[in-house]
Amino acid sequence: MNIEFKKPSPHLHVHHLPATQPNDVCFVWAHGWMRSHRDFITIANQLTACGDHYLIDLPGHGETSKSCGNWCVEEYLKPIASWVNSLDKPIIWVGHSFGCRIGLHMARLLPEKIHSLHLICPPFNYKNYLSSQFLKKILYKTIYRAGLFLGLPREKLISIFGSKDYQSAKALRVMLSNWLNDDTKATVSKITVPIYLLFGSHDLETPHQLSQHFLKANPKANISILNHFDHYTILTDGQHQIIHHLTEHLGQQT
């Protein structure tokens, strides 16, 4: 049976899958950028014997208001943290991509509420001034600004030089830029709850090499690399691997 919760606020939508038997924990599922809670319904439905499941639409995504377009990181976190703090059981946070960023901050802000973090394809913001990725980013920014100076259409320049996430963000572009400047290392280094990282071996958006940055920031992080999956197929073709990972973790805790 599926139960739709009333929105805690216009900026957070919660889809509830109730547990089929008594339990001591609950799951919160947080989707990726410009995605929705629907990414996790199939997986969560197979785990209802393990606890209640709360599948959320993050501010500006899915069925929530898009009026948060200019929010800074801390403003964005407020309605989520307020709702998380209202839950009465330890939380197993499962995030994908952007949802991993939110989970890290929830563990920073409310460590007493978060039982563990299970982060699928987590991004990591860092500045390596000698990396080809960073130099390419600087080059694109320079060309983009030069194009604006010469009077070229902004949207045309964005379609050429903007990332897929930036192109799709539209009214949320300021907010996305704020998140892309958020210091992942500083957040990860403060986490005291268990962190489990799941990467896809074929993921180009958040390649598994990022795991080394997580380990440097938090040496206790646990890393798994799932073969044959990319940034999105890990949620579809690889869902059995995610289910196995979560049930194995729960078994270790009993």
pLDDT for the residue 147: 63
Strand order across the beta sheet in which 222-226 lies: 3-4, 13-17, 52-57, 26-30, 91-96, 114-120, 195-200, 222-226
Structural domain boundaries enclosing 65: 3-125+183-253
At 132-155, the pLDDT tens digits run 555 556 665 676 577 666 776 767
At 24-52, the pLDDT tens digits run 999 999 999 999 999 999 999 999 999 99
At 182-204, the pLDDT tens digits run 999 999 999 999 999 999 999 99
pLDDT for the residue 129: 40
Higher pLDDT, 106 or 3: 106
From the centroid of its chain, how far is CA 176?
A: 13
User: Within this chain, do residues 141 and 234 fall inside the same structural domain, yes or no?
Assistant: no
Higher pLDDT, 65 or 50: 50
What's the CATH code of the domain at 108? 3.40.50.1820
Rounded average pLDDT over 158-169: 63
Centre a 10 Å sphere on the Cβ of residue 178 and count the other Cβ atoms it contains.
Answer: 17
Q: Quick check: 253 pLDDT over 90?
A: no
User: Within this chain, do residues 175 and 69 fall inside the same structural domain, yes or no?
Assistant: no
User: Within this chain, do residues 60 and 15 fall inside the same structural domain, yes or no?
Assistant: yes
User: Within this chain, do residues 23 and 35 fall inside the same structural domain, yes or no?
Assistant: yes
